[in-house]
Structure 1
Amino acid sequence: MSAVVAHPDDEPFGLGGLLGLLSDGVVPTTVLCFTHGEASTLHGSPGDLHTVREGELACAARELGVQRVELAGHPDGGLGDIPSYRLTAQVTRLIGEERPSHLLLFDTGGVTGHRDHQRATEAALLPARRAGVAVLNWTLPQEVADRLNAEFGTSFTGRDPAECRVVEPVPRQRQRRAIAFPQSRLRSTGWCPAASQSSDNPMLWRRLELLGDREYLRILE
């Protein structure tokens, strides 16, 4: 299984439950992340976000059992300005090297309303079709999206659960560790996975609360 995401926190925050579930099932996973996430307005850890979030991605991947992470250097917030062929070429190379049975992506439309999320998914769909690789689109049930938008003023898009494959139970232990290291581990490693983005992010924890032990996927053949 290979995942394609826009930002370092997309791996633990969005796909972390599913990646952890796959690792628990001894399914090899890889992640291609297009940006360093340096333009984020959340800055819960000291230091330059370009460097900080690179380290957070590596640590989160280890917690989730991801075997390989590739971090591209495209500008955060600027994936829409990158020629499509450059992004699709990176996904094509990943597919050729890893030979995944499936690609795991954010749903079409990006789920969160962030243009980079939408662009990352768009870049992966054509290479997947060409290679005959099935696509799993991570999404939210409409009710959860609506609750988050009402409570936090966000722009999540959801799906009717009837359109989705419900995956349950999804253990959250790996995901929660990837989001926020215990402080004892932080002191020994110097890095806290996703701490720069999770320490002041109540919307994240509310989303996980609403989802419980379920995740929702659209399957594109």
Structure 2
Amino acid sequence: MTDPTDPTDPTDPTGPRLEPLPADWQRALAVVAHPDDLEYGCAAAVADWTDAGKEVVYLLATRGEAGIDTVAPAECGPLREREQRAGAAVVGVSTVEFLGHRDGVVEYGTELRRDIAAAIRRHRPELVVTLNHRDTWGPAVGGAWNSPDHRAVGRATLDAVGDAGNRWIFPELLAGHGLEPWDGVRWVAVAGSPTPTHAVDATAGLERSVLSLLQHRGYLQVLTDRNPEVYCREFLVGAARAVAPRFGGVPAVAFELFPR
């Protein structure tokens, strides 16, 4: 049971006020493990950003090929990739890249850090977004254990931001691929964190976030036997409203912000 006095609960109305996420940037790179991670995590914020003319690129470590028990990976991977591209398009994201790491057994390490650092050098973002890298989802969901893929990708993303700016770490990125170091990342924003510090108003983007998640119909039909639209709307609207008491009463997407 959630302790309502626990300050790490992002839905606790008595917790510290969440500050507005900085908006003085133009390019963002969102790095997650699986198709649908961003749709569950922060698509309403992405819609708000692209509406403002900002550039957002999605980078996924896997194609989610192990995510549907009744569909073999060879068929599931392409299906989920198509669904992810469709979901991204709904919120104004046209560039979606996949690293090809194996779903379910993503390993934190230099290979993953190098792949993410290469993408940071290619796209030169000022803001990097990722998903909860901590062991659990925190008290708001009863301390549920986090996925090993989420933990690995989130931690590797936080580390790869530094790697991308250091020419002596992964020098092959410059020598072999012409990727100059990029030390221009100013913040890393972690969606789904049990200890959020900032938030983005979800009002304008909330309906499109629901439609974005609905693009993952192949996944949703095995995840729940509920009506997909009802399920997606209740989940996303409920999550945004739960953050509102800590953000001036405004439905929002919460992030833990790490400045650089």
State the match for 2:29 in structure 1: 2
State the match for 2:119 in structure 1: 94
Q: Does 2:64 correspond to 1:37?
A: yes
What TM-score does the superposition give when structure 2 sets the normalisation length? 0.64
State the match for 2:156 in structure 1: 123
Q: Select between 99-108 and 205-214 the one with higher mean Cα deviation.
A: 205-214
What TM-score does the superposition give when structure 1 sets the normalisation length? 0.75
Contact 2:210 2:232 in 1 (8 A): no
Aligned pair partner of 2:147 in 82, 105, 114: 114
Contact 1:16 1:175 in 2 (8 A): yes
State the match for 2:173 in structure 1: none
State the match for 2:209 in structure 1: 175
Structure 2: distance between partners of 1:194 and 1:56: 5
> Greater helix share, 1 or 2?
1
Q: 1:65 to 1:174 in 2, by over 3 A?
A: same
AA of the residue aligned to 1:7: H
Q: How does 1:51-70 map to 2 (within 5 A)?
A: 51-70=78-97
| Secondary structure, aligned partner of 1:66 | coil
Identity value in percent: 22
Structure 1: distance between partners of 2:130 and 2:46: 11
Q: CA deviation at 1:88?
A: 1.0
| Secondary structure, aligned partner of 2:210 | helix
| Partner deviation per Cα, 1:93-114 (whole Å, 9 max, x = no partner) | 1111111001001123164611
| Secondary structure, aligned partner of 1:121 | helix
Q: Does 2:43 correspond to 1:16?
A: yes
Q: CA deviation at 1:206?
A: 4.2
Q: 1:204 to 1:86 in 2, by over 3 A?
A: farther
Q: 1:21 to 1:42 in 2, by over 3 A?
A: farther
Aligned pair partner of 2:190 in 98, 116, 137: 137
Q: How does 1:66-85 map to 2 (within 5 A)?
A: 66-80=93-107, 84-85=109-110
| Secondary structure, aligned partner of 1:31 | strand
Structure 1: distance between partners of 2:104 and 2:131: 16
Structure 2: distance between partners of 1:43 and 1:56: 17
Structure 2: distance between partners of 1:34 and 1:128: 16
AA of the residue aligned to 1:91: I
State the match for 1:195 in structure 2: 217
Backbone CA RMSD of aligned residues: 2.3
Contact 2:87 2:213 in 1 (8 A): yes
Q: CA deviation at 1:168?
A: 1.9
Q: How does 1:136-175 map to 2 (within 5 A)?
A: 136-139=189-192, 158-159=194-195, 163-170=196-203, 171-175=205-209
| Secondary structure, aligned partner of 2:100 | strand
Q: 1:12 to 1:42 in 2, by over 3 A?
A: farther
Q: CA deviation at 1:205?
A: 4.7
List gaps (5 residues or longer) in structure 2.
Answer: 1-27, 138-144, 166-182, 242-250
AA of the residue aligned to 2:113: T
Contact 2:61 2:101 in 1 (8 A): yes
Contact 2:192 2:255 in 1 (8 A): yes
